[in-house]
Amino acid sequence: MKKASVCSVFLFIVFAAVSVQAHYGMVIPSDSMVMQDDARTVHVTASFSHPFEMIGMELVKPKIFSVLANGKNQDLLGSLKQTKVMGHTAWETDYKIKRPGVYMFYMEPKPYWEPAEDCFIIHYTKTVVTSFGDDEGWDGELGLKTEIVPLSKPFGLYDGNVFQGIVKMNGKPVPYAEVEIEYYNADHKYEAPTDYMVTQTIKADGNGVFTYAAPKSGWWGFAALNEADFKLKQDGEEKGVELGAVIWIKFEDWKSK
């Protein structure tokens, strides 16, 4: 089921009054490709925001914050330190890369109550870092409640390259899933021609596969939104839950000699 079926009570009012902004869980590392001559510590920041318009929201300490690498899962929750992103509470950690491999950082936040949409939001968010020339396992799954599994390498992409992924819920593809895409406007120096272009929306095919070509270098967030098969209580009343499968991908510029 689509996002509109989850958060419906106040949507007409929101659409009539202002442009609707997309929410994104964010897990952003200092680098997506660690080479032999690079610093071997990756700084990872977790936050919650409207990334193009650079409007932050509060992120309480996540329920889960971990990294999967070389077949082993490491809990990083205890290493998180509170910080600020876009003026709101966020979390950060420094992770030392000790050996070649693919490192999948991921977060499950605590449910976020969004009164404007009359529902809870939980964004299962991940990003992938490769190191020292080893890129095996980049298409692995974390087994999250909902997840975007990459069909293109989630690193080493030029701007203009195509990124493909498959949207899954409970381990199964989601046919015709809706995917929202937004640019992390980190320097706040870009402006969309119209509000319609702040968040772009595409649909997956019948196998849950979507395709997108990024028009600019930088970090891009892909969020597949679906209705949870459970509800949570707010003020004693059961409310719907929007589950987001979010992946952050960095697209790179060509380098001049």
| Residue pLDDT, tens place only, 171-213 | 999 999 999 999 999 988 899 999 999 999 999 999 999 999 9
pLDDT of residue 36: 79
Residue 109, pLDDT score:
97
Amino acid at 55: I
pLDDT of residue 7: 58
Output the DSSP codes for 180-236. EEEE--TT-----SSGGGTSEEEE--TTSEEEEE-SSSEEEEEEEEEE-SS-EEETT
Q: Which domains does the chain have, with CATH numbers?
A: 3-252 (2.60.40.10)
Amino acid letter, 185: N
Whole-number pLDDT of residue 22 = 79
Give the global pTM. Answer: 0.91
| Model pLDDT, residue 21 | 62
Place of tokens 């709101």: 88
Token pair in block for residue 115: 């009164």
> What's the confidence (pLDDT) of residue 255?
86
Contact by Cβ (8 Å): 150, 165: yes
| Per-residue model confidence (pLDDT) at position 40 | 87
pLDDT of residue 257: 83
Tokens of 121: 């939001």
CA 2 to chain CA centroid, Å, is 18
- Low-confidence stretches of the chain (pLDDT < 70) are 1-21, 38
Q: Determine the 3-state secondary structure of 3 from DSSP.
A: helix
